[in-house]
Amino acid sequence: GQNIDQPTEMTATEGAIVQINCTYQTSGFNGLFWYQQHAGEAPTFLSYNVLDGLEEKGRFSSFLSRSKGYSYLLLKELQMKDSASYLCAVMDSNYQLIWGAGTKLIIKP
Amino acid sequence: DTGVSQDPRHKITKRGQNVTFRCDPISEHNRLYWYRQTLGQGPEFLTYFQNEAQLEKSRLLSDRFSAERPKGSFSTLEIQRTEQGDSAMYLCASSPRPRTGRGIYNQPQHFGDGTRLSIL
């Protein structure tokens, strides 16, 4: 079966750094996406990795290791507005997105 | 604003009634997706259109669910004889064709604000 695992909840302090991990087992791989979702709102696109390595975009970076079936999202200089759920999604061999359940990130002052 | 729009934002109905939701994708996007999401879960794939063709439908989707995209632009999702378990957020997303060049870059899906369905 296809499976995406990420922690249910994480807590971090304003101004700090947090790493959200995602491991996956899917039938085929055509890229991994990270989305941010605030409560009651739609997911918004953050990053896309299809090759191994680190993609940096401002305060957010995403890393991929295809051989390990592993990705992480790194958030630096945390702000209160970063409190949200972070969803990991893998595009499988049929070009469909398989979604994790999301990691709820709580930022404390 | 040229984002994905969904209508209505909220729908409350009695069990057994039929409901229909509408999605207007970003105009240059030829791919359109419907998802269902419940609290604490990621989106669950329902169905997918490329232009007007419905290319995939989840095996989890019962015959009470049907979707159309008649002219390859907006789409509708209908749920017949609603049940309590249908209560969820229904999300629509669209994306353009993958970019090609040095390999294939699969474009991200852009989501609408969703329709929250509550079954009484």
What digits encode the pLDDT tens for the residues B3-23?
Answer: 999 999 999 999 999 999 999
User: Does residue A23 or residue A96 have the better pLDDT?
Assistant: A23
One DSSP character per residue, chain A reads --EEE--SEEEEETTS-EEEEEEEE-SS-S-EEEEEE-TTS--EEEEEE-SSEEEEETTEEEEEETTTTEEEEEE-S--GGG-EEEEEEEE-TTSPEEE---EEEEEE-
Task: Name the closest residue on chain B to residue A99, using Cα atoms.
Answer: B42
CB-based burial label for A62 (10 Å; 0-12, 13-18, 19+) = buried
- In angstroms, the CA A82 to CA A46 distance is 12
Kindly state whether A100 is in contact with chain B, defined as any CB-CB distance less than 8 angstroms. yes
What does the pLDDT read at residue B81? 96
Confidence label for B56 from pLDDT (cuts 50, 70 and 90): confident
Question: How far apart are the CA of A50 and the nearest CA of chain B, in angstroms?
Answer: 8
**pLDDT > 70? residue B103:** no
